[in-house]
Structures are given as C-alpha cells and as structure tokens.
Chain A
Amino acid sequence: MTALAASLLTELIVAAVVVLGAFTLPARWRSPVSGLGSVVLSAVAATTGILAMTGIGGALSVRTTLAGALTFAPDRLGGLFMVIVSLVGVLASLYAMRSARGAETSRSGWAAWVVFLASMQLVPAAADMVSFLLAWELMTLCSVLLLATGHRLRSSVASATIWYLAMSQLSFFLVAAGFAVLAGVAGSTSFAAVAAIGSGSWQVDVAFVLLLVGFAAKAELVPLHVWVPRVLPEAPAPVAAAMSGAMVKVGVYGALLVCVRLLPAGPPWWGVLIMALGGASAVYGILQASVNSGLKVLLAYSTTENMGLVFLAVGAAVLLRGLDATAAADAALMSAVLLTISHALFKTTLFLAAGAIEHATDETNLDRLGGLLRRMPWTAAAFGIAALSAAALPITSGFVAEWTLLQSLIHGSRISGTPVAVIVSVAMPLGVAVVALTAGLALLTFVKAYGIAFLARPRSAEAATAVEAPLGMRVSLVAGAVAIILLGVLPGPAAQAVASAVFTNPAEVVRSAGLAGVSFPGIGVLLDPATLALIVALLAVPVLILVSIVSRRHRSRVSELPWGGGGSRARPRMQYTATSYAEPLVRVFDDVLKPSRDVQVTHLGESRYLIERVQIEQRMTDVFETRVYRPLLNVAERFGVLARHAQNGSIHRYLAYSFVALVIVLVVVAL
C-alpha cells in the first residue's frame, strides 16, 4: 500500500469516525467535536491531494457487493481539485463549528455535512465511472439534506429544494448517459481505458455534449442555473459557501476531466461550444448579480458569472489546442485553473461574511443594511478583500487569474504575426469583449454590495445595532482574506505548483519571475504584483508624511452632516439604496432583464400637480425561468393532470398495468 492509498484510507476512516461521533455525542458536544472532526477530515484530504499532486501513484479499491470494486486513485489533476475542495472544507467547517444553529446542529445535520465534505473530496479521486457517479450522487443528496435543514423556518426552502433536486437529477442523468456512451465505445468503465479511445467518432461527440451539459448544470451555467438564485440564499452560510466554493468546482473538475484527461484531442467546435456557453453565462450571471439587491442572491448569480469565465477559458484552451496554438492554449488552461482556485477562496469568504452579516442583523437585503463598517470591522475587511478579488482588481488572486485569461486570449489569435484561423480571429476578440464587460459589471456589483452594506448610515434598526461576529467565525473570514492577498501578491510559486498538476511540461508553461510574480514564456508575458505593491509603498511614503504634517496642523472635525446635499433634514432613508444604485444599469439593459415595474402615484386631494405619495415596486425576474422553464413546467403540469386519470387508486387497474407491461416485455424478448 502506497502513501497515497494509506492517506485515502485514513480519510475514509476519519469520515466514518466523525459521522459516528455526530450520531452518538450529546447535543452540547456535537457542534465543537463534529466541526473539529470535519476540519481534520478536510486536512487529511488536503494532504492526500498534495500527495497526489506530487505524482506518486497508488489506488484504493473498495470491494462492494452491489457495484463491484470502487477504485479511488487521484491523478495530479484530481489531487489539485481535492486540495481546492478541502481548503474550502476547512474554512467552512471552522465557521460552522461556531455558527451552526437550530436544525443544523442535529445529528443528521452534522452527519450530512461530514458525508457531503467526504464525497466532494472523493469525486476527484475516482478512477472509474461507477465510483465517480456514486460519490457525485452522494454529494448531491447530502447537499439536499443540508439545504432542507431550514425548511421549518422559511417556506421558500421547500420550493428551493425541489428545484435543486430536479436540476441535480437532470445533471446526474446527463453525466451518467455521457459516461455510458463512452463506456460503450471503450468497453470499460475505467478512465484509463476511455483516455485511450481518442475522438473523432460521432458517439464521442454525443458523449461530449451530454457530459458538458451535465457538468455545466453542476457548475451553474446558463440556462441550467435556475436553481442557483433560489438555493444558495436559502442554505445556511457554511453550506452555501461549501456549495458555491467547492461543489461547483467539482463540476469544473468534470469538464476538465473530459477536456484534458479523457478526450484531450477534441475538435475546435467543442471549444467554440464551451466558449459560447461560458460567455453567455458570464454576461448573464453578472448582469443579474448587478441588479439584484439581495446580498446572497447577488453572490449566487456572481458564481454563475465566475464559472462562465472558467468555462470560457477551458473553451479557449480546447479551441486553441485544436488549431495548434499550444502556448496560448496552455495559458488559457492555466487561467481556468487559477480562476477556479481564486473563486473558491473569495466566494467562500464572501458567503461566510454574508452569513456573519445575517447572524448580526437577520437581514440580507442590501436595501436595509448600511454603516456596518464601523460595527463589524473584521467582517468588513474580509468582505472588502474578497470583493476586490471578485472584481478582479490588484493585488488579489482574482486579478492574477483574469489577467492570465486576457493575455491568453489576445495572444491566441496569432502565432508570430499570422492569424491562426478565421474562427479564432472572431472568437478571441468576442471573448475579450465578454471578459471586459463582465469585469466592468463585476466592479459595479461589488462596489454596490460593499458600499451599500458597509458604508454610509444604517438603513434599518437592525443594521444600527449590529455587533461583530464571534471569534470562531472571524477566524475563517480572516484566513480566507489572507489567502486571497497572498495568492495575489506572490502568485509565482502557487502557479508553478498548479502547473505541475495540469501539464506534463510545467516549466515551459509558467515560471516564477521577479519578486514571486508569474511569467508565461510561451506567450512572452510577465506579471509581478509584488513589485507593483512595492512601488505603491514607495509612493505612499512621501504622501503619508505630507498627510501627517498637514493633519497635525489642521485636525479633522466631525459634524452631524457636513453639507447633506444642501438640506438640513437628510435622513438615512434618503440615501441611495442598492436598488437605486443599479437603476441606471436596469434602464440600459431593460431589453435583456425585462424587470416588472409598478409605479403608483397618489395625488393630494383633487390636485393634478401636488403629489402625496409615490410607490414604486420593481421586481427582477430571471428571464430563463419565466420564458423557458415556466412554459415547460406548464406542459409538464398538463401531463400530470392527464396522468391523474390513469391513477385512480383502484388496485385492479394497477395490477392490469403490471400485467400489460409484463406481456409487452415478453413480446419484445420474443422478437
């Protein structure tokens, strides 16, 4: 047994012990012990992942009576995703230890959490389709259980759970069907056998499309994203963080598994398809995020955007590789992985911070928040750093990732001055435009989220009396923020480690340069954030000296409201809210978003000109839900009504059905 196999076995044993603990311990001890157990479990999984990334082989086979032998043997790529998923697991478990309330602290609640983490970590370790699908389904079911913990508190949880179940089952079905086709072609369910078949036949194309759509549903891409804005806001903060930070990454892993490991020589149109899917998701996701006022809804839609960018990068890599622009293709693939890691960190932090706000104010509607920076400084700092990363600004991990993506796109269309192909010269500029629009809207979204929630004056009594989250919850927030900054300032070593997991020739793709910056020798670009930070520090010295001299002479004064827009009665209610902040954007994208707006004007008495009251109600709806899913559901409902006639509760009729079915089967067999 190799070290890797031993580590995997340890992981399984730890998971079993923690689940056992969750069921047997008394309520007082359950949360701390199970939480600590989950942290240990994630740490072991992370170690396993790191071992796998070093490339030592090893497999753990578990014999089962039903499904045959389940084999877990993570390769380098799988190891990388194990590490990503486990790091999110550590942060979320630390937080959950302190934040769990109500049904979350029940026996089944903690057990589901542990199994959820363990199965997420096992999906990237799977070496054949059956174990992959088993871990995948286990992960989905546990997340449904975790989601349902809040169903007694809010009625909306039930509908969210149903949407989630339906979409996850669709995703599972598609993935299973895709794998089945591949297994049919390869004659075996092991990934190693599938990797040998190559592409070219139509069966492989069908399998690719099925798998892509299946994984896209898990990665929250348009048009299969409809569960996201319902589910993530309803889930408890650590669960939402784990789903958005880690579970979605398993979908990305699936896409990479197909495009990099199983079918590496895909034709260019695969790349175009992935890019289109990703680009549409990125723009639509961030557009919805920018106009929504619910903090968690906004974060949920922003997940769709980020995953869209990841898929855009993967698509660019497939397209460019198909046309032999290898250097740019490698950079694009690298950017996909960097985006994934960066998103895991900042979205976990953001969701946990949103949970801290909810903990303090019982409110996630931005329109009723405000002024939290003075009351919750730690949460504000962590949220701010994570928001910078989400808006892809320096010096955070998000900036490095998006910079890599842009560089790979602009260097992809030409090899030493000559255009690669017509399709590339159309796809790359459009890709740049999509990334740019997304980045711009993300900037607005996160300025809105941060500015409205944390700055200015509180817009409700709850926000005015908020207190900082307890230490146990703050630890994860701070750890996440520090990791984001570290990756943003010193991306070089991390990028090298990641490259060794993805490429066979990592030194040719990415190098560390300058003060731990990254450079891509293949396309000749270099980014050194640490030097930038150093220059800013040097520039800041004289400015700060000047400030300190001036401020000693002229101390600042505090006034109730210095100018107040010229009026002396400016109330907190008169501030801009999140809804009004996004209003210009809603107008610009009116045709895409189709908001429903209701304006009621009450006139004063008989006067036509004096107005007593204006009431405005604006609702943002998801176009895909109202235009695509509603009609489908209506059709389904009509079938349901029809089906009710077939099921009238008479035992004779049911027996007749069975009898007819049996006869039909026999006839078919006879033919």
Chain B
Amino acid sequence: MIGAAVLIALVQVMLFLFLAPLLVGVMRQVRSRLEGRVGSGIWQPWRDVRKLLRKAPVRARDSSWILSIGPLALLLSSLLLCVLLPLVGALDVPWISSDLFVIVSVMLLGVVALALVGLDAGTAFGGMGSSRHMTVAALVEPTVLLAVYALSIPAGTSSLSVIVGTRLHVPSEIISPVSVLALVALAIAIMAETSRLPIDNPSTHLELTMMHEAMLLEGSGRDLAWLEMGSWIKLTVLLGLLGNLTAPWGILTDVTIGSVLLGVAAITVKVLLLGVALSVGEVFLAKARLFRVPELLAGSFALALLAVTASYLVA
C-alpha cells in the first residue's frame, strides 16, 4: 500500500511538472486564436522557463533572503499539493493525508510566500499586489472551508481521496444539489485563489488592475522561473481536483500498469479540457472592479453555506 502510494505520488509530481507549463501554453494559445492572434505556440511557457533558468537573478540591495527562498517555498508548496491531492489515483493512505484542511493550509503557505516576496522588493507595486492578493485570500477562505464541509458530508470525512472515491462509486452524489452548489462555490474560490478572471487578469500589467503580476514584477532569473512554475502548478492541480470532483471516472483505485496509464491519460484530458473551457470563458469575461470582488466572494460564500444547509433539506 505504501509502495503504491509512493509510486502514485511520484507519477503525479512528474506528470504535473510536465503538464503545468503545457496547460498554460494551451490556454494562452486558445485565447490568442479566439482573439484573432497567431499565438506563440503551446510550448512557449517551457521555453520561457528554460530561458529564465539561464539568467542571473538581479536582487535589490535591501532585500533579504526571503527573495531567494520565497519562490522556492511557493514551488515546494505546489509540489506538495501534487503529492497530496488525488489526481491520478485516489488511494486512502492515512499518513499521506489528502485531508482538505491540510491541503488548504499547504496552499496558503504558498500564498504567504508569494505575498512576502512581493513585499520584500521594497516597491509600491509589490506591496499593492501583496495587499490585494492577501485580501482576496482572506475573504475566499470561508467559501473554501464551507464548500469542503458540504463535500465532506456524504463521505463522512474530509479526506479528498475518500470523497473522490465515494463519488466514483455513487455517481448520483455528483448531481445532488449539495454537490452542485458546493462545486459552483468551490470553482469561484479556485478562480480567486489562482488569480484568474474575473478576480484578476493574468495578462495585464496596468497598475490599477494587477494583483498576481504585481508581486512578480521585481522577480528575475531563476527566482521568476520558480514563481511562475509554482503558480502554474497550483493552477493545474486545482483544475485537476475540480475535474476529479465533477467527473471522477478514470482515477485509479488499485495499482496496475494499465490503470496508471489510464489515470494519467484521464487526468491529462480533464485538466486540458477544463483549461480550454476556462480560457474560452475568459474571452467573454471582463475583470471585475476590485471592490466588486467581495460581492462575488460573498455570493460564493452564500452558495457554500446553502450547500451545507441543503444537505439537511434534501437527501
């Protein structure tokens, strides 16, 4: 059992290291094509990372070791998410816990690392991005945890592998109102956590609208490479999680060569499909004003609370 879990974890880490830049490339390409541009191809993020790793980082004189450690911390937290989440396989190994509260806090560690990096550069932009990012992160937390609560009710546990496993065996759970409401809420929360539209525009560098990008402005060389890679992996694993919660089919529960291959193929397809859907959706969305964001988050919170309440109303 432990051996199988280690194997799955390894597969997940390798797969998502490869998949994350690819997903971002695909999303950018889809968006370019829809907007009538040629686009730079789906391998461009890979080329960017390779280029950045070959450049010497430039750091401010007053900056501290946070500027070099922070990006690594973000990357490691994202890699840890790859290990813990049920992406390719949903094996329930108690010590390698896929407990949702643990996962949320691991994700928040990455958020904190990024926010501190933004502050450490000592410019107005970094602080601005950091402040907005943390505000959104703080307000999104109730939604995430309540959605988790709602999802944990049918399975009787907050362990994600068990939740996904339950959904695999009882597919009618997926379309129950509780699950639908919770998934909508969770999807909004994930958009906020990964700085996508309509909360943040990932492709803008206008000072009034930046959140995520503002924190990366002072990053360069390998620091920037780690920051980008960490954020991409986070986006990819969260999309993978959403995919597995809505359509758990293909995830493996016992380890054979065939099932591993099937699991890898299934999660790749799900992630890429969701990514394409996300970037198509983003073409039609405008970024919400910063002070309309709390409204959006309050809406998702209301949905999450209704999901929990609904679990008492309907079976």
Residues of chain A at the chain B interface (Cβ within 8 Å): 290, 371, 373-374, 391-394, 399, 403, 406-407, 410, 414, 416-417, 419, 425, 429, 432-433, 435-437, 439-441, 443-444, 447-448, 450-452, 454-458, 513-515, 517, 524-528, 531-532, 535-536, 539-540, 543-544, 547, 550-551, 553-565, 570, 572, 574-576, 580-585, 587-588
Q: Chain A contacts of B53 at CB under 8 A? A: 550
Does B153 sit at the interface, judged by CB under 8 A? yes
Interface contact B101-A407, CB-CB below 8 Å: yes
Does B299 sit at the interface, judged by CB under 8 A? no
Nearest CB to that of A374 among chain B residues?
B64
Q: How far is the CB of A575 from chain B (nearest CB, A)?
A: 6
Interface contact A436-B141, CB-CB below 8 Å: yes
Interface contact B149-A432, CB-CB below 8 Å: yes
Nearest CB to that of A458 among chain B residues?
B62
Interface contact A514-B94, CB-CB below 8 Å: yes
B-side interface mostly? helix
- Known contacts A457-B122, A515-B95, A584-B132; 10 additional CB pairs below 8 A are A403-B101, A425-B312, A429-B146, A429-B305, A439-B145, A443-B138, A455-B119, A525-B157, A532-B106, A583-B131
Does B231 sit at the interface, judged by CB under 8 A? no
In the bound assembly, the distance between CA atoms of A429 and B124 in angstroms comes to 39
Does B291 sit at the interface, judged by CB under 8 A? yes
Residues of chain B at the chain A interface (Cβ within 8 Å): 9, 13, 53-66, 68, 72, 75-76, 79-80, 83, 94-97, 99, 101-102, 105-106, 108-109, 111-112, 115-116, 119-128, 130-132, 134-135, 137-142, 144-146, 148-149, 152-153, 156-158, 217-218, 220-222, 290-291, 294, 301, 305, 308-309, 312
Nearest CB to that of A544 among chain B residues?
B72
Q: Chain B contacts of A444 at CB under 8 A? A: 134-135, 137-138
Q: Chain B contacts of A406 at CB under 8 A? A: 101, 145
Q: How far is the CB of B215 from chain A (nearest CB, A)?
A: 11
Q: Chain B contacts of A392 at CB under 8 A? A: 105
Q: How far is the CB of B206 from chain A (nearest CB, A)?
A: 12
Interface contact B134-A455, CB-CB below 8 Å: no
Nearest CB to that of A380 among chain B residues?
B64
A556: which of B68, B99, B131 is its contact (CB, 8 Å)?
A: B68
A559: which of B60, B95, B146 is its contact (CB, 8 Å)?
A: B60
| A556-B60 contact in complex given A457-B122, A570-B124, A584-B132, C-beta closer than 8 Å | no
Interface contact B116-A437, CB-CB below 8 Å: no
In the bound assembly, the distance between CA atoms of A452 and B146 in angstroms comes to 31
Interface contact A535-B127, CB-CB below 8 Å: no
Interface contact A410-B218, CB-CB below 8 Å: no
| Chain B CB within 10 Å, residue with most, of A391, A455, A535, A581 | A455
In the bound assembly, the distance between CA atoms of A9 and B144 in angstroms comes to 53
Q: Chain B contacts of A543 at CB under 8 A? A: 72, 75-76, 79
Can you list 29 A-B contacts (CB < 8 A)? A373-B64, A374-B62, A432-B145, A433-B305, A436-B144, A436-B146, A440-B138, A443-B111, A443-B141, A444-B137, A447-B112, A450-B116, A455-B122, A456-B122, A514-B94, A527-B99, A531-B95, A536-B76, A539-B83, A556-B58, A556-B59, A557-B56, A558-B58, A561-B123, A562-B218, A570-B122, A576-B126, A584-B131, A584-B290
Q: Chain A contacts of B58 at CB under 8 A? A: 556-559, 562
| A440-B140 contact in complex given A451-B120, A456-B119, C-beta closer than 8 Å | yes
B57: which of A527, A553, A557, A574 is its contact (CB, 8 Å)?
A: A557
Q: Chain B contacts of A580 at CB under 8 A? A: 127-128, 131
In the bound assembly, the distance between CA atoms of A373 and B153 in angstroms comes to 45
| Chain A CB within 10 Å, residue with most, of B66, B132, B291 | B66
Interface contact A554-B76, CB-CB below 8 Å: no
Closest 6 CB pairs of A and B: A576-B127, A440-B141, A440-B138, A451-B119, A456-B122, A436-B145
Interface contact B124-A575, CB-CB below 8 Å: yes
In the bound assembly, the distance between CA atoms of A18 and B159 in angstroms comes to 54
Interface contact B121-A456, CB-CB below 8 Å: yes
Interface contact A532-B102, CB-CB below 8 Å: yes
Q: How far is the CB of B274 from chain A (nearest CB, A)?
A: 25
Interface contact B60-A435, CB-CB below 8 Å: no
Nearest CB to that of A590 among chain B residues?
B291
Q: How far is the CB of A495 from chain B (nearest CB, A)?
A: 16
Interface contact A399-B105, CB-CB below 8 Å: yes
B124: which of A419, A440, A528, A574 is its contact (CB, 8 Å)?
A: A574
Q: Chain B contacts of A570 at CB under 8 A? A: 122-124
In the bound assembly, the distance between CA atoms of A555 and B218 in angstroms comes to 17
Interface contact B62-A433, CB-CB below 8 Å: no
Q: Chain A contacts of B135 at CB under 8 A? A: 444, 584-585, 588
Q: How far is the CB of B8 from chain A (nearest CB, A)?
A: 13
Q: How far is the CB of A189 from chain B (nearest CB, A)?
A: 44
In the bound assembly, the distance between CA atoms of A435 and B97 in angstroms comes to 21
Q: Chain B contacts of A513 at CB under 8 A? A: 94-95
B130: which of A371, A393, A563, A581 is its contact (CB, 8 Å)?
A: A581
| A539-B80 contact in complex given A452-B119, A514-B94, C-beta closer than 8 Å | yes
| A581-B127 contact in complex given A443-B112, A524-B157, A556-B68, C-beta closer than 8 Å | yes
A539: which of B56, B76, B105 is its contact (CB, 8 Å)?
A: B76
Q: Chain B contacts of A414 at CB under 8 A? A: 153, 156
Q: Chain B contacts of A536 at CB under 8 A? A: 76, 80
Nearest CB to that of B207 among chain A residues?
A565
Nearest CB to that of A454 among chain B residues?
B64
Q: Chain B contacts of A436 at CB under 8 A? A: 141-142, 144-146
Q: How far is the CB of B230 from chain A (nearest CB, A)?
A: 11
Q: How far is the CB of B152 from chain A (nearest CB, A)?
A: 6
Nearest CB to that of B309 among chain A residues?
A429
Q: Chain A contacts of B65 at CB under 8 A? A: 373
Interface contact A525-B158, CB-CB below 8 Å: yes
| A547-B72 contact in complex given A456-B120, A554-B222, C-beta closer than 8 Å | yes
Interface contact A371-B62, CB-CB below 8 Å: yes
Q: How far is the CB of B83 from chain A (nearest CB, A)?
A: 6
Q: Chain B contacts of A450 at CB under 8 A? A: 116
In the bound assembly, the distance between CA atoms of A60 and B203 in angstroms comes to 72
In the bound assembly, the distance between CA atoms of A553 and B101 in angstroms comes to 40
Q: Chain B contacts of A416 at CB under 8 A? A: 156
Interface contact B64-A455, CB-CB below 8 Å: yes
In the bound assembly, the distance between CA atoms of A399 and B97 in angstroms comes to 15
B116: which of A393, A447, A553 is its contact (CB, 8 Å)?
A: A447
Interface contact A448-B56, CB-CB below 8 Å: no
Q: Chain A contacts of B105 at CB under 8 A? A: 392-394, 399, 403
Q: Chain B contacts of A525 at CB under 8 A? A: 99, 157-158
| A447-B134 contact in complex given A373-B66, A394-B105, A531-B96, C-beta closer than 8 Å | yes
Interface contact B72-A554, CB-CB below 8 Å: no
Q: Chain A contacts of B217 at CB under 8 A? A: 563, 565
Nearest CB to that of B127 among chain A residues?
A576
Interface contact B109-A441, CB-CB below 8 Å: no
In the bound assembly, the distance between CA atoms of A399 and B153 in angstroms comes to 23
A557: which of B59, B101, B111 is its contact (CB, 8 Å)?
A: B59
Q: Chain B contacts of A539 at CB under 8 A? A: 13, 76, 79-80, 83
Interface contact A528-B97, CB-CB below 8 Å: yes
Interface contact B301-A394, CB-CB below 8 Å: no
Interface contact B222-A551, CB-CB below 8 Å: yes
Interface contact A451-B97, CB-CB below 8 Å: no
Interface contact A576-B128, CB-CB below 8 Å: yes
Interface contact B291-A587, CB-CB below 8 Å: yes
Interface contact B146-A432, CB-CB below 8 Å: yes
| Chain B CB within 10 Å, residue with most, of A436, A441, A581 | A436
In the bound assembly, the distance between CA atoms of A551 and B223 in angstroms comes to 11
Q: Chain B contacts of A550 at CB under 8 A? A: 53, 222
Interface contact A439-B157, CB-CB below 8 Å: no
In the bound assembly, the distance between CA atoms of A450 and B116 in angstroms comes to 8
In the bound assembly, the distance between CA atoms of A440 and B76 in angstroms comes to 21
Q: Chain B contacts of A429 at CB under 8 A? A: 146, 149, 305, 308-309
| Chain A CB within 10 Å, residue with most, of B132, B152, B308 | B308
In the bound assembly, the distance between CA atoms of A527 and B94 in angstroms comes to 8
Q: How far is the CB of B298 from chain A (nearest CB, A)?
A: 10
Q: How far is the CB of A363 from chain B (nearest CB, A)?
A: 18
